Amino acid sequence: METKCHLINTDTTASGKPKGQPMTDGRWTASMVEERMAEAAQVMRVLPEQRVQGYYSTWPEVVRDFWDAFGWHDAVLRPARPSPAAISRMDEAMTWLRWLNPVDAKIVWERAANTRWKPICYRFGMARSTAWRHWVAGLALIAARLNGKPRLHTGSHVRRYAERVRADAERKY
């Protein structure tokens, strides 16, 4: 499956370009996948909730005078709606999760939604280091698939690829 998307530069120190400029090398990294997943989770959080069509009244709304309605309820501040491009990027990132096994996909999504490690470890019944390895392996597998690498199987191939990604990240910082 060929993924067509615009890679956005989020690191100004590596390339020297300002943020938001398209990447020229076209290689995905685990941190880029992590940022895209975080953006997808944020867009999902901001989208209006789906409501079930239920009963409704045919009576018209009661029109209140300003003086009657003022101060009855607190002001409701809603976050800005996401752009259509952001929703498209969210849909694309959600399809990436199908490439992972269900546990890894859930861990990647939970971390993208800023869930702390303790609830994740409790939910999946694993130690923090094991959950972290599943998370890194999931991000590395998605990055490898986006870069056109052959399909990696879960297990030793993904672990070795995750270790290389980790070593590259440690050298970068």
Q: How far apart are CA 97 and CA 99, in angstroms?
A: 5
In angstroms, the Cα distances linking 78 to 41, 45, 85, 130 are 17, 11, 20, 38
DSSP code string of 5-47: ---B---HHHH-SPTTPBPSS----HHHHHHHHHHHHHHHHHS
Going residue by residue through the chain (173 aa), what tens digit of pLDDT does each one get? 444 444 444 443 333 444 444 444 678 888 899 999 999 999 999 988 777 777 777 787 776 676 666 666 677 777 788 999 999 999 999 999 999 999 999 999 999 999 999 999 999 999 999 999 999 999 989 998 998 876 655 556 666 666 676 677 666 65
DSSP secondary structure letter of residue 19? T
| pTM, entire model | 0.66
CB neighbours of residue 166 within 10 Å: 15
Q: Which residues contact 167 (CB under 8 A, 6 or more apart)?
A: none
pLDDT of residue 165: 66
Where do the domains of the chain lie? Answer: 28-47+80-173
